[in-house]
Amino acid sequence: MYDGIEVDMLSLGNADCILVSFWSGLSVHRVLIDGGKKGDAPVIRQFLRNLNINAIDDLLSTHHHDDHSGGLIELLCDESLTFGKVWSHVPQWHVSSMDRVAATLKAAGSSLEAANLLKSLQTAAEVYKITKKRGFDHEEPFKGKRLGPLEVCSPTLEFYNDLVTEFSDVEKIKDEDAAQKRYDEQTAMEEVFASVLGKSDSDSSSLLTAPHTTPENESSVVAGANHNERVYLFTADAGTCALTNVLRDYPGVKGLQWMQIPHHGSRRNITKTLIGAFAPKTAYVSAEGSKKHPRRAVVNAFKESGATVYSTHYLGGCNLWSQIGTVPGRAGYHSATPLYEADKIQKKAEPDWSTGLAALLGGK
């Protein structure tokens, strides 16, 4: 008889797809969180097929960026898969006038943020359309809603509505572009100085004190599950505002068992103070392994808080599997190597050839 939680984080580069399985006796409740990019759908489908999974109880779209929801459309269209309920926000329901939003996005011209918002609105509409076409139940995931044992911790309806109002504010959209430009310039300057001084961004002091992410990222669903007082927290691309709200509303998330590092390890989504408050024992990140994703400073800050950190990109890339309690075993699975630890393990395992050579030559 089983009584536990298992989490699978798929290796999809800078894209998210997480399968959470809640076991009780011989019954299991499965929640699929996000579906990666459009091209990731076949990989996700094969992963599920390898585990003989054709039915998902709850499908959660955390937000509608391509690297989270692009693959969901393909999975929802796959008639070999069934979903008990689809949870996704429909931002069109939270604006007073879509005509005004369209006019705003057009007025923003070549704005990258405006283009992202337009694409997200299209994805949200498509996810909802396919969900209804296939006859699956649909609900928006706001704070307090439960997907089996998984509880939505953020956003609240009010917080989400405030974020969506920015979709029809051309000045705020342009401000997002300007903020991204300033961040890129700051990052480039830091890299120049680090190169000149022979340093890296590995020190946690290179974290931002007041990071900022886009309204869409901030609206990401944050969800948690508790098993015998051990808490798992799924953060998607949530930023400091959402994560601060979660800490305020859910004191039990301090000292976590497991945490997803938000936004593929970007330093625009979290601070050292937040990391210290969450203080997870284990932290997973889905990332491509670039300088930004995951940021070494972010990873090291989690390590300093006491976490063992794992990334899907590390050592060539692999799916990550975490479990607590009693769950079915997995044939062929082996222990993963914590992030940045392979070199230390290899050096420790290497023989001391200098000593051996000295002995061979008759030295001491």
Q: Can you tell me which residue has the tokens 């609900």?
A: 139
Residue 197: the pLDDT is: 63
The residue ranges of the chain whose pLDDT is under 70 are 183, 185, 187-205, 343, 345-364
Nearby residues of 32 by Cβ (< 8 Å), 6 or more positions away: 17, 18, 19, 20, 56, 58, 59, 60, 75, 83
Residue 103: the pLDDT is: 81
pTM for the whole structure = 0.91
Range 2-328+336-349 classified under CATH 3.30.460.80: no
Residue 208: the pLDDT is: 85
Residue 355: the pLDDT is: 37
Residue 360: the pLDDT is: 39
Cα angle 302, 307, 309 (rounded to 5 degrees) comes to 80
Give the whole-angstrom CA distance, residue 354 versus residue 350.
11
Among residues 226, 323, 330, the alpha carbon closest in space to that of 284 is found at 323
Give the whole-angstrom CA distance, residue 268 versus residue 262.
9
Residue 345: the pLDDT is: 64
Helix (H, G, I), strand (E, B) or coil at 157: helix
The widest CA-to-CA distance across the chain, in whole angstroms, is 87
- E strands, 168-229, are 222-227
Give the whole-angstrom CA distance, residue 289 versus residue 318.
12
Q: Can you tell me which residue has the tokens 């400091």?
A: 240
Residue 348: the pLDDT is: 52
